[in-house]
Amino acid sequence: MAFPYMEAVIGFMILMYFFESYLDWRQHAALKRPTLPKTLEGVISQEKFEKSRAYSLDKSRFHFIHEFVSILMDSAILSFGVLPWFWKRSGEFLVYIGVNAENEIVHTLAFLAGVMFWSQITDLPFSLYSTFVIEARHGFNKQTIWLFFRDMIKGILLSIVIGPPIVAAIIVIVQKGGPHLAIYLWGFMLVLSLVMMTLYPILIAPLFNKFTPLPEGELRLKIENLASSLKFPLKKLFVVDGSTRSSHSNAYMYGFFKNKRIVLYDTLIQQCKNEEEVVAVLAHELGHWKLNHTMYSFIAVQILTFLQFGGYTLVRNSKDLFQSFGFDTQPVLIGLIIFQHTVIPLQHLVNFGLNLVSRSFEFQADAFAKKLGYGLPLRAGLVKLQEENLSAMNTDPWYSTYHYSHPPLVERLAAIDELDKKQD
């Protein structure tokens, strides 16, 4: 008797839904607490706390509904054989319009086009509500409905341009890969990720946002001096108009080898009280670079990707696996999708482990900025970002340990204080 792969996948999905819903319930209860954590008393204003609490509770209620609808839809799609049905219908559609459905690449692209259309339609109400009700209600949304749909259309067009060559390459590699298939797939994805990391900030990101050089002045001078002191090969320093879409703030860096760039959100510059706080936030980000966190994360992802492809090669010809999900043929991309479903338990464990590592990296980057002399402005900057982004002040420890890649503010401030005590 064949192993019931599909039933096992659905069972685990439902089990994880109940487990994560329990964690969500614990977090919701924490968000309802009417008082600030003791560490933040006198640091965060009561007005900001009340706004943060209202925003977090609104997002939490919306999350409960979204997750419930998602598990119903995902379970129904698998249980009622929607994927194999759609694969057959996409083939029939190609025959109807006079295209050769025997060509697996063409058939796969038709299937993916339908899946993309379906996912856009089903996700649209949630995206609209999140952006134009929740984010707008709490003063974050800055985009018009026209800008929202323009971004969505640009995203779809990019998928149409970029997606087909990638899908075609994967199918050809699997069909001709032979015994070294996992190595070829991993090599292709490695090259693709490097190309996308190079092209995204230069060609794709500017389609959605405007990047302008940071003007000459005190802030630019301080950032350049910091980068120079750390031997960070800063080539360009940009400000991005994040305020056209949201008042949330951020900063990031990108680039290879001796060609590094730093991007500041205009909202970050506006929200921080002075240049020193912005520089302190960047000192934290540069800490990730100096401590090789970015490289470690990249290597970890490459190892996991290789292991995933290795696992896929072991089951890609399993008729039982395909038949369990309702397929009487074994298309390449369908095999990858099914395999991804079957390794969901491992993915949850891996993601949890990566979150723990990421949290450790955040503490290390804070300590790095502190050693550079940015302890007080970093503390002030973290508090300001927490306030302005209305991030959750009260968090459940189980929920944050499982979900958060960044430690809660209370933990980060406590760690900075601990460093002060050790130095005294």
SS (HEC) of 269-320: HHHCCCHHHHHHHHHHHHHHHHCCHHHHHHHHHHHHHHHHHHHHHHHCCCHH
Which pLDDT value is given to residue 39? 82
Q: Is 406 labeled as ligand-binding?
A: no
**For the domain that residue 274 is a member of, what is the CATH number?**
3.30.2010.10
239 found inside a domain? yes
243 found inside a domain? yes
218 found inside a domain? yes
Which pLDDT value is given to residue 421? 64
- The residues assigned a catalytic role are 285, 366
Which pLDDT value is given to residue 72? 96
240 found inside a domain? yes
Q: Is 284 labeled as ligand-binding?
A: yes
222 found inside a domain? yes
Percent of the chain clearing pLDDT 90 (strictly above)? 46
Burial class (CB in 10 A: 0-12, 13-18, 19+), 229: exposed
Q: Sign of the C-alpha dihedral, residues 60, 66, 71, 74?
A: negative
234 found inside a domain? yes
Query: Regarding beta strands 234-240 and 251-254, do their DSSP bridges make them parallel or antiparallel, or are they unpaired?
Result: unpaired
- The pTM of the full predicted model, rounded to 2 decimals, is 0.86
Written as one string, the DSSP assignment of 180-228 is GHHHHHHHHHHHHHHHHHHHIIIIIGGGTS-EEEPPSSHHHHHHHHHHH
CA distances, 90 to each of 93, 97, 281 (Å): 5, 11, 50
Other CB atoms closer than 10 Å to residue 208's CB: what's the count?
A: 16
> Using CA atoms, how far apart are residues 331 and 322, in angstroms rounded to an integer?
9
21 found inside a domain? no
Domain that holds residue 229: 211-288
Query: Count of domains in the chain?
Result: 1
Which parts of the chain have pLDDT scores under 50?
Answer: none
262 found inside a domain? yes
Burial class (CB in 10 A: 0-12, 13-18, 19+), 163: middle
